[in-house]
A and B are shown apart, each in its own frame.
Chain A
Amino acid sequence: MSIHEREYNAEEQEIRRLVQSIPILQDKMIVDLVNGIQVTQDHIRVSQDRITGLGSRIVDAVTGKSALRQQRIDQNLNEGLRSTMIWLENLQASQIQTDRALAYVTEKLSETRQGIMKLVDKHVALKNEVRQLTEQMHGLEEQFTQQSEQIRNQLTSIDMRQSALIQMNQEFDKWAGGGYASFSPLLQMFLVLEALSWGPFGVYDAVNPEFREQLNYKCAVLLKDVRGIPMRNLPTDKWMLSLVKERAAHKEMLRFLLQDDAELLASLPLQSTMLKVVDLEEHSAESMRSILTQVNVPLVFESKRLSQRLLMESRIRLHRRGLHAS
């Protein structure tokens, strides 16, 4: 406890002792004071009336009434003054208590104001922290969204890549295992490439062509190893003419796959040539050469290059039909 607080408590005790020592203001004292004034007024009025006559003065003096009346007045005044003193003491005590209560309340108000100021400071600091946290949260949210998107894209990409790889292996296994054996060897490659373009491989290849080179090599290797078709110097007319010998149903299928409007076919020289060859009625080298002279198609292909061309034209066709987004 500080010296100041000790002094304050000592003062408080002294005031309390003083207040407790004051007589209690009884109702009787209040009435004796207020009503006593009216009683005194009555006596004073009578005294004034009696004092004007010599006879009444003598009678009152002889009978002692004037002295008795004066005694009543004095007693009332004395009691009234005593009541006034006690009333004043009580009022003073009450004022002291009220003033001290006011001081206490003022002190509390001051503390409350200080507390509110402190609270405002804390609030402002907290508000800033909240704002910073909000900004950080927004940054983190954005970062998380980006990372989430990135991860989702990565997962999608991995999934697509995996699907593409699986489809490529499945198609080549099917090809190698004789799944397309009823077709001519080069039509088999065309059909494998067509299936891959339409499937997950084509979707992934539009985004990432990483397996395209591998595909072309795999086509070349399979043609050579399984079908005995050389990797180099593959005459265009020779493998094209084999289409003429395909069964009618196969030709119909090929037409269904390749048939398109003229403008599109103009940008797909190899496939438009294949359409024309399919429509030939007989296996004629002359007719074949005639067709080849009309289109811009190399006369000799490497098997790898051929697969590249077929795949590329297949992709263009699908894109034109709005099936793949490159």
Chain B
Amino acid sequence: MHLDFPVFGLVFSGGGARGAYEIGVAQYLASQNWVPSAYAGASIGALNAVFLAGAPSFQEGVHRLEEVWRTLKIQDIVKMNHQMVVLGLVHAAVKRGIVLHPGLAVYDEAFNLLASKIKVMKDVKNISQLITEHPLLSKLQQGLLDNQFLRRLLEEQLGIHDMENASPIWVSAYPSKGMTRDIVDYLLAGSGIRDTNESHYLQLNEIRKEERLSAILASAAIPGVYSRQTVNGQPYVDGGVGGAVHSRGNTPLTPLVLAGYTHCVVVNLSDGSMFNRHEFKNTTIIEVRPEQTLHRNGLLPSLFDFRPERIQSLISQGYADAKRCIGESLTALSLVRGGRAAAQLKEDRLLELKNDGFDDAMKLLD
């Protein structure tokens, strides 16, 4: 516990594979024994936050989270560039369309035939598979099909059945208006024409056990790529879609502020995030932002780059940036507090000096 930051909330933004960066931040906090009292997360940030909030201790949670990330097994990607990821996304959307319209299956078969002959088409297919089979989410999706795995993951690692006793945790999810509308709204916000609506902030501790997993999946459900998830009868998609212009949904500080947390650490997962700290007038916010780019190969590829070496690099980067951003802020606070304490000590000693009766005693010499 830090004297100037005794109780604080931790906000994890969404950012796909860049979520490994948040492990580094958590590792730094754990190394200083600064334990968050509440969590909020969007998308991958929501998953990370759930691991930490449900763990027996913060240190244990950080350890488990790192282990989960390090055991992700992905295919070796040949070309992970912007164009290939866009093509992969298109392919994934088509595949998703096939699920809704089985008549289009003939196109998929044709694509598979081309992919077996042309290397570029094979790479697009691989990327599409990686996108649709988000390594972390796929673990959960596999769990849906495998009762034994699901039970172990939920009970032992996520502790999702015991959220009543976990730290308060919110995940952001965007109330879906349908896949097409969601995508159009997001594109309009990205074009600066019209911002999306605010995401909803679902407190996992207070929703029904059987809907908690849906809420977590909803927070990371990229529109057009993953299925919508229904919680309390409301369909939801990725929380990062809401308030897109100012990253309010993707960096969900709002629920912590509304819950009364006046001190928060906010972890941004993109270069030059538009999250605006000045919207929260009464909250002391320490933002952890990257000193070096997080989008080394472009914004989209970085979302799906789960290679072990990249994960390790992001963890280290997160740790260093947390040390820089949090450390410098708390050092400044400690200095000011020390100055105030010294000033008070000075005042106390002056008062003692004024009232020590020395003047009266000196008059006795006259």
Contact = CB atoms under 8 A, between A and B. Distances in A.
B283 A28 contact: yes
Given A30-B333, A62-B192, A118-B365, A98 B346 contact: yes
Contacts of A134: none
B289 A72 contact: no
Interface in B313-366: 324-325, 328-329, 332-333, 336, 339, 343, 346-347, 350, 353, 358-359, 362, 365
A13 interface: no
A108 B274 CA distance: 57
B71 interface: no
Interface string A24-64: 01111011111110110111011101000000000000111
B287 A119 contact: no
Contact of B287 (A39, A46, A94, A112): A39
A68 interface: yes
A152 B276 CA distance: 110
A325 B255 CA distance: 122
Contact of A45 (B272, B278, B282): B272
A122 B365 contact: yes
B271 A45 contact: yes
B285 interface: yes
Contact of A104 (B274, B287, B350, B359): B350
Contacts of B339: 94
B213 interface: no
B274 A69 contact: yes
B214 interface: no
A72 B286 contact: no
B353 A105 contact: yes
A25 to B, nearest CB: 7
B191 to A, nearest CB: 5
Contacts of B303: none
Interface in B244-303: 245, 268, 271-274, 276-278, 282-287, 289-291, 293
Given A31-B333, A46-B272, A62-B192, A108 B353 contact: yes
Contact of A119 (B271, B324, B353, B365): B365
B56 interface: no
Nearest to A104: B350
Given A35-B329, A119-B365, A42 B272 contact: yes
Interface string A88-127: 0000001001100100110010011001001100100000
Contacts of B336: 25, 27, 30
Contact of A94 (B271, B273, B343): B343
A38 B350 contact: no
Given A31-B333, A46-B271, A63 B191 contact: yes
Contacts, number: 107
A289 interface: no
Contacts of B284: 26-28, 31
A119 B363 CA distance: 11
Of residues A27, A31, A108, which shows the largest number of chain B Cβ atoms within 10 Å of its Cβ? A31
A119 to B, nearest CB: 6
A65 interface: yes
Interface residues of B, number: 40
B308 interface: no
A76 B272 CA distance: 13
Contacts of B343: 94, 97-98
A46 B282 CA distance: 28
Contacts of A119: 365
Given A27-B284, A28-B283, A39 B293 contact: no
B117 to A, nearest CB: 33
A88 to B, nearest CB: 13
Contacts of B282: 28
A31 B365 contact: no
B287 A38 contact: yes
Contacts of A42: 268, 271-273, 289-291
B260 to A, nearest CB: 15
A31 B329 contact: yes
Given A28-B284, A63-B190, A39 B328 contact: no
Contacts of B4: 27
Contacts of A98: 343, 346
Interface string A122-139: 100000000000000000
Nearest to B4: A27
B135 to A, nearest CB: 27
Given A36-B277, A94-B343, 8 more contacts: A28-B285, A30-B336, A32-B277, A33-B332, A35-B329, A43-B272, A75-B276, A98-B346
29 contacts: A27-B4, A27-B284, A28-B284, A30-B332, A30-B333, A31-B284, A31-B329, A31-B333, A33-B332, A34-B332, A35-B277, A35-B329, A38-B287, A38-B291, A39-B277, A41-B289, A42-B290, A42-B291, A45-B293, A46-B271, A49-B293, A62-B192, A63-B190, A63-B191, A64-B192, A72-B274, A98-B343, A115-B358, A118-B365
Interface of B: 4, 190-192, 245, 268, 271-274, 276-278, 282-287, 289-291, 293, 324-325, 328-329, 332-333, 336, 339, 343, 346-347, 350, 353, 358-359, 362, 365
